[in-house]
Structure 1
Amino acid sequence: MPSADFIYGQPTTRHRILQAAWEAIEELGSKTRLADAAERAGVSRQAVYLHFGDRSGLLTALVEHMDEKLGLEELAAHVFDALPGAEALDRMVELHAIYSPKVESVVRVLQAAQFEDDALAAAWRNRVHGRRAVHRAIMERIAEEGRLAKGWTVDTAADISYSITLPEMWRELTEQRGWTAKQYAQNISTLLRNSLVAG
């Protein structure tokens, strides 16, 4: 019978399971099972079910845990502290360059699992919609400054900026083409500035 800690979702136990799941995914990738996370966390598989319900619930919670541990909120604040908008755009690309390798293992699993699970598909779409909203806010600032390049609207510029910085593009350029994080940040920033920012 599980302890009261597991029944009532003691935060330390929950945190331990999430951290163990993250480590397991970095090692095993999409083959990671609930049992792997439970074993690493030193709890029963039933404890994982009690905290998260199922694999879908665990992965969804892991995304939030990951962002909290890596300080995504503070990193995003640094982006929007920048003036003018073009500088915020540069900082956003730098953020992608720094953040993407840290979450790559979990993102791969989440992207693959979304086609098999509606809850994970919703979690993934929510995440990418949030990313696009950030890009749109930057493009809106650039437009307010009168620097959005001719032929672009705030929405079309946001679509391009968001799409170019998706994990698939980062993965292709760094893993397949051998770009460093610095090269990625410099080259993508140059591409977006030359295409979307006037002057």
Structure 2
Amino acid sequence: MSTSDRYGAPDTRTRILTAAWDALLDQGPHVTLADVAARASVSRQALYLHFGDRAGLLVAVVNHMDESLDLAESLARVQGAPDGAALIEAAVRLNTTFWAQVHPVAQVLEAGRHDDEALGSAWRDRMRFRQAAFREMVGALADRGELSEEWTVDDAAATLYAVAHYDTWRELIIELGWTDDRYVESMARLLRRSLLSG
């Protein structure tokens, strides 16, 4: 087996990503490449060959989390909703389910994003992904003629992104103690009244 095959093996990559995910949960923003290498039973050189640097590793971790949680499939189900009201409700339901699943890691990334370049890279990567996903949802509403004519697609997508942001979810669910059902009912009502025509 060549060096490139050994370091490029999918099972090695997955083991590293799982180890990094666990290390983030255990050690928070102070996780190092050495910590991850030890957990994954690989050399630091293997980490560099797979991911380039700490920022590359953390970006790969958050992408791996989305894949592990079948986020693409969940987003496809939201897009397949029969009408705008159902799409918004499904999007808000997915939002609270997803944030609950990734909350421990999101908390680390969000808290350290200004002071740690690698954490900031991972956070910005996921926020760009979310912005694109919400724009696709709003584009679907516009294509169906269900987006209120008061909104441009870009502005409506940015508003949806902001309303569904981690900070808002955390304040309502974690700080104020809302249940998921209360969150979905309240936020979906707000967004339906704001974004949909009629």
TM-score range, shorter chain: 0.7 to 0.9
- The offset of 1:93, in angstroms, is 1.0
- The offset of 1:106, in angstroms, is 2.6
Task: Quote the residue 1:108 is aligned against.
Answer: 107
Asked whether the 8 Å contact 1:143–1:154 carries over to 2, the reply is: yes
Task: Quote the residue 2:98 is aligned against.
Answer: 99
Task: Quote the residue 1:192 is aligned against.
Answer: 191
**For residues 145 and 11 of structure 1, do their structure 2 counterparts lie closer, same or farther at Cα, with a shift above 3 Å needed?**
closer
Greater displacement, 23-32 / 38-47: 38-47
**CA-to-aligned-CA distance 1:40-87 (integer Å, 9 cap, x gap):** 222333432332232111101111211111111111111111121221
- The offset of 1:116, in angstroms, is 4.5
TM-score of the superposed pair, with normalisation by structure 1:
0.84
Task: Quote the residue 2:9 is aligned against.
Answer: 10
Greater displacement, 159-168 / 124-133: 124-133
Q: Secondary structure at the match of 1:8?
A: helix
- The offset of 1:104, in angstroms, is 2.2
TM-score of the superposed pair, with normalisation by structure 2:
0.85
- The offset of 1:118, in angstroms, is 5.6
Q: Secondary structure at the match of 1:149?
A: coil
- The offset of 1:7, in angstroms, is 5.7
Task: Quote the residue 2:179 is aligned against.
Answer: 180
Task: Quote the residue 1:133 is aligned against.
Answer: 132
Task: Quote the residue 1:47 is aligned against.
Answer: 46
**For residues 152 and 50 of structure 1, do their structure 2 counterparts lie closer, same or farther at Cα, with a shift above 3 Å needed?**
closer
Q: Secondary structure at the match of 1:152?
A: coil
User: What is the percentage of aligned positions where both structures have the same residue?
Assistant: 46
**For residues 128 and 40 of structure 1, do their structure 2 counterparts lie closer, same or farther at Cα, with a shift above 3 Å needed?**
same
| Distance (Å, rounded) in 2 between the aligned partners of 1:54 and 1:105 | 23
- The offset of 1:182, in angstroms, is 2.4
Task: Quote the residue 1:161 is aligned against.
Answer: 160
Q: Secondary structure at the match of 2:98?
A: helix
Task: Quote the residue 2:34 is aligned against.
Answer: 35
| Distance (Å, rounded) in 1 between the aligned partners of 2:121 and 2:34 | 24
| Distance (Å, rounded) in 1 between the aligned partners of 2:153 and 2:87 | 15
Task: Quote the residue 1:69 is aligned against.
Answer: 68
**CA-to-aligned-CA distance 1:126-163 (integer Å, 9 cap, x gap):** 43233223222322333344433353232222221111
Q: Give the unaligned 5+ runs of structure 2.
A: none
Task: Quote the residue 2:150 is aligned against.
Answer: 151
Greater displacement, 120-129 / 72-81: 120-129
Asked whether the 8 Å contact 1:6–1:47 carries over to 2, the reply is: no
Q: Secondary structure at the match of 2:8?
A: coil
Asked whether the 8 Å contact 1:148–1:196 carries over to 2, the reply is: yes
Greater displacement, 122-131 / 111-120: 111-120
Return the letter of the residue paired with 2:27.
Answer: L
Task: Quote the residue 1:25 is aligned against.
Answer: 24
**For residues 54 and 186 of structure 1, do their structure 2 counterparts lie closer, same or farther at Cα, with a shift above 3 Å needed?**
same
